[in-house]
A and B are shown apart, each in its own frame.
Chain A
C-alpha cells in the first residue's frame, strides 16, 4: 500500500506516513488490547497471542475473494476460530492454574510453536495474498494526496472497534467484572465468580480481538511465518509503554508505535531499528518505579 502512495507524483513526505501510522497503530491497539486483558485480568503472559492474530490473518487470506459477503464471512469465521483457540488455551492452562508464571508462559509458548506449525502445514509456507473487497481496492484523495481506500476505511472501523471496547469495559457488567478482576482477583473469587471462568472468558475475548485484528488487518500486517512473532512483540511493547492501568494508555502506546514504525522510519531511516528500543527505554526511565508499582499492585 505504501507503494501505491509512492507511485503518485504529489507526495507530501510526512502526511501519508503519519496517516499510515494511525492505521498501523489502531491495528496494533486492537491486537494488543487482547494481550492487555490476558495480562491484566488473568495475569498470564500469553506467548500464543501472536498465533491468535495469525489465525485471523490466514482465515482472511483463505476466504476473502473481493466481495463484501466474503469479508463478513471471514470476519465471523476468524473471530470465532481465534476465540475458540483462546478457550482451548484456557483449557490447557487449567492444570497449571495454581502453578507459577514460568510454567504458564512456557505452556503458551509450546502452544504457539505447535499452532504455528499447524498453520504452516494447513496454509503452506508462503505468505498468502490477501484480496480486499473490490470497492476498496483503489485509492481516494486525502487533502490532495492519494491514499489507499482500504486503510482509510480500516482507520474508521478500528476507531469504532476501540470505542465499542471502551464502552464494553466501562458500561457493561462483564466489563465491570474485568476491571474488578484487575483490581482484586481474590475479592472477585470471593463474590462467587470462578477464576477458571474468568480465565476462559478473558482468553476467548483476547482471541476474538486478535482474530478480528487478524482478519481486518491482513492487508496491513499480512499472514505469514513471521506474523505471530511480529504481533506478539508489538503487543508486548504496547503493554510495556502503555501499562495496564487504562485503555487510554494502551491506545496512546499503540498509536505511538504505529507512528514510530511508519513516520519514524520515513524521517530517520538510519535510526529506525533503534526507535522502538529508544521509546521503551525512555518511557521506562521516566516512570519506571511508578509503572512497576502499579503493575505489582495489579
Chain B
C-alpha cells in the first residue's frame, strides 16, 4: 500500500509541475514568460544530453551542435519559406538529425572521456562555422527579424509571449512523452543494457555501435527540434546562443538530475539555466565568477555521485522491465569487471 503511494508520487509531482507551467504565463510578466520559453527549449536539449549521457553512456558536451543546426535551419526556413510551426519543427529536427548522423563516425567508437572531448570539439567547430558562414548564418550578428510562427495551417500567428510559450510547452511535452515511451520499448532496454555491459550485449549478438548511432541521431533530432523552439521563443539567434558554456551548463543540469532520468534532466537543466539567467541579471560583471564557483560547489556536493544518484533515482522514474534489473543491480561491478 505504502509502496503504491510512493510509486505514484513522481507522477503526482509531474502533474502538479505541468499544471504550474500551463498557468505560469498568466502569473508572471511578459519578459519572464519569454525567458521561460527559452528555458523550455534548453531543457529539451538537456533531455537529449541525458539520453546520450545517462541512457546510452556517451557523455556529451556537443549537443549544442545539432541544437544550433536545428535553430539555423528553422530560422532560414521561417524567414524564407514557411511560417508553419510543424514544418519548421520537422525541418529543424531533420537538420539536427543530419548533423548528428554526419558526426556519428567521430563518436561511435569512442567511450567515456574521449566522447566528451570529441563532442566538445564538434560543438565548438560548429560555433566557428556559424560565425564565419555569413551568407547563410549572418555571421556573429546572427539572424534577426524571423516572422512569428503559425503552429498549423489555418491557425493565427503566435503574436505574444504567452502564445509562444504555450506552443513551446506543448511541443516539449509531446517530445518528452515520446522519449519516455521510446525508452520503455525494447530499444530503450538495449541502450541501457549496452551502457551497463557492452561486452555481454555484444556477445549476445547485438550490434552496439548501431544502437549507439541510432541514439545519437535521435538525440540530434530532439536537440534540433529544441533549436526550432528557441527561434520561436526569441525570434533571433546568434552563435552566442550555442557556446561551449551552454553545453557545460546543460551537462551540469543533467548530472544534477541524475544523468539517466529524463524528468531529472528537464528539472536540472531548467534549474541551472534559471540560475544562470538570474545571476546575469543581478550581478552583471561578476556572474561568471559566481557561476564558476557554483559549478565547483555543485560538483563537490555530488561527491562520487552520478552512479549512486542514478541507482536511487531510476526505479521510481522508469520501472525497469525485467531483463534490465540484474544489469541495473550490478552496474558498478560490471564497470569494474569491464576495466
Q: Which residues of A contact B (CB under 8 A)?
A: 39, 43-45, 47, 92, 95-96, 98-103, 105-107, 109-118, 121, 229, 232-233, 236-237, 239-240, 272-274, 276-277, 280-281, 284-285, 288-289, 292, 295-296
- A59, B295: Cα distance in complex, Å: 26
Cβ-defined contact, A117 with B295, below 8 A: no
B299 to A239, Cβ gap below 8 A? no
Central interface residue in A39, A106, A107, by most chain B CB within 10 Å: A106
CB-CB nearest in chain B for A285: B105
Per the bound structure, the CA–CA distance linking A121 and B289 in Å amounts to 10
Residue contact B289 to A96, C-beta cutoff 8 Å: no
Q: Is the CB of A273 within 8 A of B248?
A: no
Q: List 18 A-B pairs, Cβ < 8 Å.
A: A99-B303, A99-B305, A101-B112, A102-B259, A102-B306, A103-B306, A107-B295, A109-B248, A109-B295, A113-B288, A115-B292, A229-B243, A229-B244, A233-B121, A240-B118, A273-B129, A277-B129, A296-B111
B292 touches A111 (CB 8 A): yes
Q: Nearest residue in A to B125 (C-beta to C-beta)?
A: A277
Neighbouring B residues of A115 by C-beta, 8 Å: 292
- Do A117 and B286 have beta carbons less than 8 Å apart? yes
In the bound assembly, the distance between CA atoms of A113 and B287 in angstroms comes to 10
Contacts A113-B295, A115-B292, A121-B285 supplied; 10 other A-B pairs, CB < 8 Å: A99-B304, A100-B307, A102-B59, A105-B61, A109-B295, A114-B289, A114-B295, A236-B120, A240-B117, A273-B132
A107–B61 Cα distance when bound, in Å, is 14
Q: B residues within 8 A CB of A292?
A: 109-111, 114
Closest to A114 in B: B292
Whether B244 and A280, one on each chain, are in contact in the complex, defined by CB atoms closer than 8 angstroms, is no
Give the residue of A106, A233, A240, A274 whose beta carbon is less than 8 angstroms from that of B295.
Answer: A106
In the complex, the answer to whether A106 meets B255 with C-beta atoms within 8 Å is yes
B53 at the binding interface (Cβ < 8 Å): yes
Assess whether B109 is in contact with A116, with CB atoms less than 8 Å apart: no
Contact A110 B306 (CB under 8 A): no
Contact between chains at A117 and B289 (CB < 8 Å): yes
Interface residue ranges of B230-276 to A (CB < 8 Å): 243-245, 248, 251-252, 255, 259
B: interface residue count bin: 35 or more
Q: Which 4 A-B residue pairs are closest in the complex by CB-CB distance? A: A110-B295, A114-B292, A113-B292, A117-B288
Residues in B whose Cβ lies below 8 Å from that of A109: 245, 248, 292, 295
Chain B residue at minimal CB-CB distance from A288: B109
Residues on B with C-beta less than 8 A from A118 are 289
CA distance A118 to B290 in the complex (A): 11
B237: min CB distance to chain A, Å: 17
Choose one: B110, B288, B306; the contact of A116 (CB below 8 Å). B288
User: Given the complex of chains A and B, what is the CA–CA distance between A13 and B121 in angstroms?
Assistant: 30
B302: A residues at CB distance < 8 A: 103
Restricting to B40-97, which residues have a CB under 8 Å from any CB of A?
A: 53, 59, 61
Are B305 and A103 in touch, CB under 8 angstroms? yes
Assuming the A-B contacts A274-B129, A288-B105, are A110 and B285 also in contact, with contact meaning beta carbons closer than 8 angstroms in the complex?
no
A289 to B209, CA, bound (A): 12
Known A273-B129, A277-B125; judge A295-B299 contact (CB<8 A).
Answer: no
Q: Is B106 an interface residue (CB 8 A)?
A: yes
Complex contacts, B295 vs chain A, CB 8 Å: 106-107, 109-111, 113-114
Complex interface: chain A residues within 8 A of B245 (CB)? 109, 113
For the complex formed, measure the closest distance between the CB of A238 and the CB atoms of chain B, giving whole angstroms: 10
Q: Is B320 among interface residues, defined by CB-CB distance under 8 A?
A: no
Q: Which of B53, B109, B117, B118 makes the CB contact (< 8 A) with A102?
A: B53
Pick the most buried of A98, A276, A292: most chain B CB atoms within 10 A of its CB: A292
Cβ of B21 within 8 Å of any chain A Cβ, yes or no, is no
Instruction: Report yes or no: B292 in contact with A103, Cβ–Cβ below 8 A.
Output: no
- From B106, which residue of chain A is reached at the shortest CB distance? A284
| Central interface residue in A92, A96, A105, A237, by most chain B CB within 10 Å | A105
Residues in A neighbouring B124, C-beta threshold 8 A: 229, 232-233, 236
Q: How far is the CA of A115 from the CA of B289 in the complex (A)?
A: 7
A100–B304 CA distance with the chains assembled, in angstroms: 7
